[in-house]
Amino acid sequence: MAIPPPTAAATAAREILTRLHDVMAGRASAQAKLNTVVQVIGETLHSEVCSIYLLRDGVLELYATRGLSQSAVHVTKLALGEGLIGTIARNVETLNLAEATAHPEFKHKPETGEDLYHSFAGVPIVRREQAVGVLAIQHEAPRRYDDVEIEALQTVAMVIAELIAAAGLVDEAATATAAARSGPAQLTGLRLVNGMARGHAVFHQPRVVIEHTVAEDIEAERARVYSAFRQMREQIDRMTSQAEFGAGGEHQDVLETYKMFAYDEGWSRRINDAISSGLTAEAAIERVQQRTRMRMREIDDPLLRDRMHDLEDLSNRLLRIVSGQLGTAAQLGLRQDSILIARNLGPAELLEYDRRRLKGVILEEGSLTAHVIIVARAMGVPVLGRVRDVRHKVSEGDLLLLDSGQQRVLVRPTGPMEEAFEAKLAVSQKRRAAFAALRDEPAVTKDGVRIQLMMNAGLRDDVAALDVTGADGIGLFRTEFQFLVSASYPQRERQQRLYRDVMETAGDKPVVFRTVDIGGDKALPYMKTEGNGEENPAMGWRALRLSLERDALMKAQARALIEAAAGRVLHVMFPMVSEPWEYEEARALFEAQLHWIAERGRMGPTVIRYGAMLEVPALAEVLDQILPRLDFLSVGTNDLTQFLFAADRGNPRLAERYDWLSPAILRFLARVAAQCRAAGVTVGVCGEMGGRTLEAMTILGLGYGRLSITPAAVGPVKAMIRSLDLAKLREAMPGWLAEAPRDLRKPLQSWAAKHKVSID
Ligand code: PEP
Ligand code: MG
């Protein structure tokens, strides 16, 4: 990067900052420093008046002035929105006026003696995107100020923001009031995990706190920014080439934009220029970002605004690198009941949060069956996805009332809003209590059919839900979760300990362990697979495909499971079986491990029951070949639907496109159920679909007798089962399937309503 010569604006600002540097470092009182600041600015810009107003108790108070009457200091006060000063602060905008009195908001303050002055320029002093004061200059002669002067003022305003923050002059209560003035808001999104939550906004990637704004050594600051740019570009290049982001869709668009900005010479030149004006690297990045933000306000093009948000993201990334403040909110720790805000998250990132304080999650992206959502569901954390712009409409610490069932979040709610929310929460807790009362009741339909109602789990703590919900067992234990939450590959002994603990906690209830399903959106950071860089990881080298080739991994897991199940029945199932031979190989690997253990005289399981997951449609075409070898089959509707519809389950743009109750899926499921029944093989559904009451009802109607669902859904689904006349539903089903309308949801809903099935 060549160093451009400093611009005129940089030179003007630098002159002021050089003089301010010693003032800032001195031991004088804050008031004395502000008095000097107005002198320095006034002299350098040859302005007759220079004044600083600070927000105190929600009001802007004249704190220091050169040129106006000194007796007005601490006397002249303006409310937010009042006069030119109040307008600048309220709108966080710059005013540049040749004739101040001609502005509609002008307000005469006779005690200041400002009648003499015609021209006026004022800039907000900003902290955390809110005005905490105003810096203004005035001249007798009517003239508009040059951009150079405005730029210099804006730069100096940043330094003043630091000075007043260091002096404790920022009125936190008043700025909080200012935030509250931006008023309550309602944001809408897509329900990803149902539930209600109350908590304070926490950003997954917290904003960097800038401690120093005036540079000690400009060349050193320049070097820091260069190195940060280099690191950021490397990160972006790596992300672009990495598997987890390579799957197209919005990530791809975002990354392309990131890349464009990361290499944008204009951006780096502006930052460089801000450093030339005497700012530190951090302050320079922020200064340029502030300017962009101000411009953005004037643009009314949503597309362009989206792009600007990407630039903001990137700017924050650069700030984090340069300041070394790299931690996520999880690493910093949650201090109160919190609602987490992020563009998107990985499952491992979510699991880093303290479960006791994490009450909800709001994502700008997100889709129903992404693994982070499955994890959130298992944690019982409501999630609202696809909330556009949330990171710009919510400030850190804002109170949020999340109601994902209603697809909305209330931001900075009023008292009555809070009351209504609490009342609804109480009702929903009552309903939950009613479901909990069903815990010891069997999952039997009204016409006497016993359904096996099991739950999904993946972590040690999840297993406690067996007792709480009264589920019949664990129908899907996602063993890869242990791999996801570990910092390194979990050794066999650790795996074995987990499996044994899980089986012991489950007691007599069966636990179906699924062998690791790594890859796709479950990439392990510490495992450098050849899968990295795949264009389409969900359809790539994952799950059983990876396990059969990396058989050391699968052998260790088989040994861990077999030894953990000593003296018990072991249920194992394999993910992503596409052809029967894959199942045979996996099964043979387990048998070989069993043999190895027996040879050494160690106790193994009393019996191993083997199952396969049906999530690749191809397997359905050869079911007749595999069924005789299976003890059970489990349909994974998350992957199955993504492959049936060729619609990436993690792509937010497709999140609402296809319905689980579409004829294609239902016919497919019906066919599989019939074949399994004919072959005498137990068949169930373990995808997220089964956790929704109407969908669960439909699955039972299609001939399934086993569901494995997220723990929170066990109560509502059991209530549904107990209110259902299954024979009647199964009678009606073939008619719907044969002449399926586009939307099967409606007839199913009306059937449920007519027959009083509990589906809400
Ligand atoms: C599925 O694909 O439906 C499933 C249950 O497995 P996972 O969600 O872990 O891929
Ligand atoms: Mg799957």
C-alpha span between 355 and 533 (Å, rounded) = 33
Using CA positions, which residue lies closest to atom 1 of ligand 1? 636
Question: Could you read off the pLDDT of 340-395 as tens digits, one per residue?
Answer: 999 888 777 788 898 899 999 999 887 777 778 888 887 889 999 999 878 778 98
Question: Could you read off the pLDDT of 236-247 as tens digits, one per residue?
Answer: 787 666 533 334
User: Which whole-number Å values give the CA distances from 691 to 296, 369, 408, 746, in the listed order?
Assistant: 43, 12, 21, 19
- 751 CA → ligand 1 middle, Å: 29
- 509 CA → ligand 2 middle, Å: 23
Ligand 1 atom with the smallest distance to the CA of 520 is 10
Which ligand has the nearest atom to the CA of 636? Answer: 1
Ligand 1 atom with the smallest distance to the CA of 615 is 2
C-alpha span between 361 and 740 (Å, rounded) = 37
* DSSP-derived secondary structure letter, 470: T
Phi, psi angle pair for 124, to nearest 5°: -75, 145
- 390 CA → ligand 1 middle, Å: 29
Q: Tokens 């409606």 belong to which residue?
A: 746
In the numeric block, which tokens belong to residue 114? 């400002």
Positions of E strands within 239-365: 338-342, 358-363
Ligand 1 atom with the smallest distance to the CA of 480 is 9
Using CA positions, which residue lies closest to atom 3 of ligand 1? 636
Ligand 1 atom with the smallest distance to the CA of 686 is 5
Helix (H) / strand (E) element for 124: namely strand 119-127
User: Which whole-number Å values give the CA distances from 308 to 126, 240, 440, 555, in the listed order?
Assistant: 19, 20, 55, 50
Q: According to the model, what pLDDT value does residue 9 have?
A: 67
- 283 CA → ligand 2 middle, Å: 46
- Cβ-proximal residues to 7 (8 Å cutoff; 6+ apart), any chain: 148, 273, 276
Which ligand has the nearest atom to the CA of 514? Answer: 1
- 129 CA → ligand 2 middle, Å: 43
Reduce the DSSP state of residue 396 to 3 states and report it.
coil
- 615 CA → ligand 1 middle, Å: 8
In the numeric block, which tokens belong to residue 661? 């109750």
Using CA positions, which residue lies closest to atom 9 of ligand 1? 478
Ligand 1 pocket test target in 462, 474, 615, 692 with most atoms within 8 Å of CB: 615
Ligand 1 pocket test target in 482, 669, 686 with most atoms within 8 Å of CB: 686
For residue 289, is it left (φ>0), alpha (ψ between -120 and 50) or beta?
alpha
Side-chain-facing half-sphere of 361: CA atoms under 13 Å = 36
- 382 CA → ligand 1 middle, Å: 19
CB 565 within 8 A of CB 499: yes
Task: Using CB atoms within 10 Å of the CB of residue 648, give its burial: 0 to 12 exposed, 13 to 18 middle, 19+ buried.
Answer: buried
- The list of the chain residues with pLDDT below 50 reads 1, 177-181, 243-251, 531
Using CA positions, which residue lies closest to atom 6 of ligand 1? 636
Ligand 1 atom with the smallest distance to the CA of 635 is 3
- 635 CA → ligand 1 middle, Å: 9
Ligand 1 pocket test target in 639, 641, 644, 707 with most atoms within 8 Å of CB: 639
Ligand 1 pocket test target in 368, 481, 517 with most atoms within 8 Å of CB: 517
CB 72 within 8 A of CB 52: no
Reduce the DSSP state of residue 247 to 3 states and report it.
coil
- 547 CA → ligand 2 middle, Å: 15
Which ligand has the nearest atom to the CA of 477? Answer: 1
Which ligand has the nearest atom to the CA of 484? Answer: 1
Helix (H) / strand (E) element for 376: namely helix 371-379
Give bridge partners of residue 612 from the DSSP assignment: 574, 633
Task: Using CB atoms within 10 Å of the CB of residue 547, give its burial: 0 to 12 exposed, 13 to 18 middle, 19+ buried.
Answer: buried
- Closest CA relative to residue 514, chosen from 478, 552, 475, 556: 478
Using CA positions, which residue lies closest to atom 8 of ligand 1? 638
Which ligand has the nearest atom to the CA of 371? Answer: 1
- 487 CA → ligand 1 middle, Å: 23
- 636 CA → ligand 2 middle, Å: 5
Phi, psi angle pair for 519, to nearest 5°: 110, -175
Ligand 1 pocket test target in 373, 478, 640, 707 with most atoms within 8 Å of CB: 478
- 688 CA → ligand 1 middle, Å: 8
CB 273 within 8 A of CB 8: no
Ligand 1 pocket test target in 369, 373, 643, 704 with most atoms within 8 Å of CB: 369
Residue type at 370 in one-letter notation:
A
Ligand 1 atom with the smallest distance to the CA of 634 is 5
Positions of E strands within 368-430: 383-385, 399-403, 408-411
- 370 CA → ligand 1 middle, Å: 9
Ligand 1 atom with the smallest distance to the CA of 456 is 5
C-alpha span between 506 and 514 (Å, rounded) = 16
- 314 CA → ligand 1 middle, Å: 33
Q: How big, in percent rounded to 5, are the helix, strand and coil portions of the chain?
A: 50, 15, 30
Q: According to the model, what pLDDT value does residue 532 have?
A: 55
Ligand 1 atom with the smallest distance to the CA of 369 is 8
Instruction: Please list every protein residue whose CB sits less than 6 Å from any atom of ligand 1.
Output: 374, 476, 478, 517, 615, 636-639, 686-687
Question: Could you read off the pLDDT of 54-93 as tens digits, one per residue?
Answer: 998 889 999 999 999 999 999 999 999 999 999 999 988 8
